[in-house]
Amino acid sequence: MSDDAAPWLIVGLGNPGAEYAGNRHNIGFMVVDLLAERMRGKFKAHKARAQVVEGRMGAPGPANRRVVLAKPMSFMNLSGGPVTALRDFYKVPVERIVAVHDELDIDYPTLRLKLGGGDNGHNGLKSMTKAMGADYHRVRCGIGRPPGRMQVADFVLKDFSSSERKELEWFVDRAADAVECLVAEGLERAQSAYNS
């Protein structure tokens, strides 16, 4: 299969389970859930310990792309295993893998897109990079730093605050738009449209 025929693998990072669903750490799941809704797809269990939706993204024509949306079901710090298994199963080149994740060093609600780079202490990225190298795309959803002396681990595993929730739907929607733009039009176009 040529690289052109290979799908894009869009991975939302998060933790499985209802108790984590509204956490800051799960914004990646929220974004791929919205993308699945837009594609009218339903997540199904995959043997790679992930939930997946297969479909197409983008307007009909040359910009229409095959995509696999995925939510690893392994907990955040073990995301690399399911993502690597999905990469191998769908034969996805690493530059067609997109991780959608929360980012402490970017203010809420700010987006940044990039290719490659460090993990910035993010356990999901750390696990993915260890499993397959760092040359995948990232859609970084800023959540800001914890207030006062709150530990980072406590902060990311808390739900968005009531004031943050006022903008959350808009933010998730914008992140989903950015993923669609990245897949259809490439990184530079998506960066100039969505990096703020």
Would you say 137 and 182 are in contact if contact means Cβ atoms under 8 Å apart?
yes
Residue 55's DSSP bridge partners are 67
Cβ distance 8 to 96 under 8 Å? Answer: yes
143 within 8 A of 102, measured Cβ to Cβ: yes
Is 46 an annotated catalytic residue? no
Task: Match 């039009």 to its residue by tokens.
Answer: 185
The answer to whether the CB of 105 falls within 8 A of the CB of 64 is no
d(CA 25, CA 153): 9
Helix (H, G, I), strand (E, B) or coil at 104: coil
Outline where 19-95 has alpha helix (H).
27-38, 80-90
Contact between residue 11 and residue 100 where contact means Cβ atoms under 8 Å apart? yes
One of 25, 46, 101, 122 is an active-site residue; which one? 25
Q: Is 132 helix (H, G, I), strand (E, B) or coil?
A: helix
Pairing state of beta strands 65-72 and 50-57?
A: antiparallel
Catalytic positions, written as ranges: 25
